[in-house]
């Protein structure tokens, strides 16, 4: 009985100290996922527990990582399946936190980079306008720099 109580105390303290991964580390892993299937799979696995209810931003990254897996897949059906699954995750994330600049930026970058034949471009103008207005208020200097740089490239 004492062993069981001790186990429960240790287990509960471990779960209390478990933290979400840093957004900075997720951004880096996401960037590296563009060229590495292994990193992309690791990122998806790392973000598995996140939903629109417990962390919309990390769900957005999970959705984007799934869409990136389409780039690494060979089979056209697998490519489309990854893309569709990721798109649904990203849209759920944006719906859950519509004013999150980073989520809107993720959606914008995906929509500017996927082939138009996929029909995932209906938010381009709205997201671009939102980002241009919101970038000035972004406190995260790393994110602000990334968004500003990307918007300059697009113009």
- pLDDT for 93-123, tens place per residue? 999 999 999 999 999 999 999 998 899 999 9
Long-range residue pairs from 144-150, CB within 8 A, at least 24 positions apart, any chain: 146/27, 146/105, 147/101, 147/105, 150/105, 150/109
For residue 48, the 8-state DSSP code is T
Domain layout of the chain by residue ranges = 23-154
Give the C-alpha separation, 112 to 131, whole Å: 14
Residue 65 has pLDDT above 60, yes or no: yes
Would you place residue 19 in the very low, low, confident or very high pLDDT band (cuts 50, 70, 90)? confident
pLDDT at position 3 is 34
pLDDT at position 56 is 98
Region of 119 on the Ramachandran plot (φ > 0 left; ψ -120 to 50 alpha; else beta): left
Q: Mean pLDDT for the chain? A: 89
Residue pair 102/57 in contact by the 8 Å Cβ criterion: yes
Residue 134 has pLDDT above 50, yes or no: yes
């Amino acid at each position: 009985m004492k062993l069981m109580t001790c186990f429960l105390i240790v287990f509960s303290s471990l779960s209390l100290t478990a933290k979400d991964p840093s957004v900075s580390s997720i951004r880096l892993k996401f960037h590296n996922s563009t060229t590495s299937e292994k990193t992309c799979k690791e990122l998806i696995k790392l973000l598995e527990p996140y939903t629109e209810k417990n962390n919309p931003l990390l769900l957005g990254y999970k959705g984007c990582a799934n869409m990136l897996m389409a780039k690494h897949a060979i089979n056209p059906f697998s490519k489309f399946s990854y893309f569709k699954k990721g798109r649904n995750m990203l849209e759920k994330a944006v719906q859950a936190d519509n004013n999150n600049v980073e989520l809107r930026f993720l959606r914008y970058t995906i929509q500017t980079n996927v082939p138009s034949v996929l029909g995932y471009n209906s938010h381009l103008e709205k997201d671009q306008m939102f980002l241009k207005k919101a970038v000035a208020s972004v406190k995260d200097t790393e994110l602000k720099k990334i968004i500003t740089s990307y918007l300059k490239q697009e113009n």
